[in-house]
Every structure is written in C-alpha cells, then in structure tokens.
Chains A and B, each alone.
Chain A
Amino acid sequence: QQQVKQSPQSLIVQKGGIPIINCAYENTAFDYFPWYQQFPGKGPALLIAIRPDVSEKKEGRFTISFNKSAKQFSLHIMDSQPGDSATYFCAARFYNQGGKLIFGQGTELSVKP
C-alpha cells in the first residue's frame, strides 16, 4: 500500500520555467511533510518542509503549497535552472510511529538550458 503518492514520475522544463510536483496522502497521522532533492549517487538532501497547519511555505526559489482538506501538497520551483536537475522526493512523517518517514516514488526533473 503506497501511503504517499507522487506525480509526475518525470518532468522536463525549460530554464526559467516553474516545475510543479504533486503529492497526495491518506493517513491523518502524518504531521510533517518534507521535500528532498537527490542527485545521482548521492544521499537525499532536505530542501524544504511544512507542517499541516500552514498552507504555504517559501524558501528562496522553492515553495510548498499545502491543502489539508484535500490531503495534497506540492513543490514549486521558481526560475528553474539546469542545476536543479535531480530527483525530488516528497515524504510524510508519522507522529505516532517514532517519526518514521514515508517517501513518495520520486520525480526525475530535467531543466533544459
């Protein structure tokens, strides 16, 4: 059972475009929703995170939008650059299972020059 569903699987945008990656969840026991960026052969790096009592969070060119009633959240990358080409994972944290993270399947983003 996939508890966090992520889409699209892959995404190609032109430099300067705004890629949007979407995630959906079912379990209401999640209390924290981070996004990770992973380059080939490297470990995931924490990018930005949000709590469910906030509808939007912005850090630099990265923005999370959160819709608690729809159980959906998304990552927007403003003014995307070729260096943003990586795989992005959304995740959700169980508040009652020791802080266990459940990850989405990942989105491979390619930003063309």
Chain B
Amino acid sequence: EAEVAQSPRYKITEKSQAVAFWCDPISGHATLYWYRQILGQGPELLVQFQDESVVDDSQLPKDRFSAERLKGVDSTLKIQPAELGDSAMYLCASSLAVEQFFGPGTRLTVL
C-alpha cells in the first residue's frame, strides 16, 4: 500500500539552530500539505502545494519558515532559526482528489 514518507522521524535541536524536514508524497498525488500538530491539539495547515506551486501559505510564519517543492514531487520544510515554541509534530499529507493521506510525522523538540 502506498504511503507518505517523512524523515527524520525525530529531531532534537537547540534554539536558534536550523532544521529541515523532508516529505515524499504518494506517487501521483499532485497536492501536498504540511501541517503542524501541537501536543493535545488537531493538525493546523502551514502550507499547501499544487504540483510545485504554493496554493496556501497564509499560516506559515514566513520570517522563519520556508517550504519548497521544486520538481512537484517531494518537499522540504525548513525552520531557521528554531524557537522553543516550534516544538511539535510536523505532518506531511498528500492527495489526488479529496482524501488526504498523512505520513508518520517528524517530532521536533527544541531545547
């Protein structure tokens, strides 16, 4: 069964360092999403791509976060510099039509 792949699964970093997360969507899925999930809450959309174009990045803190999907397939989410409040699970999802399928996530801890 096709799955969304994410790496790393866990990341521990110090405040002010740079971190990057990678996502490989299900093959053929044109739409890719990055969500942030704070412990005990539901996921919140950070950025949405349609192929290589950004569709929605209204909730992305652009002073420190960036995302790219250069060839319209895999994607990278970067945080620079990381802050204590960025500790969360970062989830990638992809969709072909309406249904969104999530990856296992990257658990980020900022010390």
Contacts and interface: CB of A to CB of B under 8 A. Distances in A.
Interface in A1-41: 6, 32, 34, 36, 41
25 contacts: A34-B99, A43-B4, A43-B6, A43-B91, A44-B43, A44-B91, A44-B102, A45-B102, A46-B99, A46-B102, A49-B98, A89-B43, A98-B31, A98-B55, A98-B56, A99-B31, A99-B95, A99-B100, A100-B48, A100-B56, A101-B100, A103-B42, A103-B44, A105-B42, A106-B41
List of 3 A-B pairs having minimum Cβ-Cβ separation, nearest first: A103-B42, A43-B102, A98-B55
Question: Chain A, interface size: which category?
Answer: 20 to 34
Interface in A59-94: 89, 91, 93
Contact of B40 (A97, A98, A103, A106): A106
B65 interface: no
A48 B9 CA distance: 26
A25 to B, nearest CB: 13
A23 to B, nearest CB: 11
A42 B42 contact: no
B55 A89 contact: no
Interface in B37-72: 40-45, 48, 50, 55-56
A83 to B, nearest CB: 19
B78 interface: no
A89 B101 CA distance: 14
Interface stretch (B11-19, B80-88, B103-111): B103-111
A99 B44 CA distance: 13
Nearest to A46: B99
Contacts of B95: 99
Given A41-B107, A105-B41, A105-B42, A99 B98 contact: yes
Contacts of B40: 106
Contact of A101 (B4, B45, B105, B107): B45
Contacts of A103: 42-44
Contacts of A46: 99-102
Contacts of B93: 43
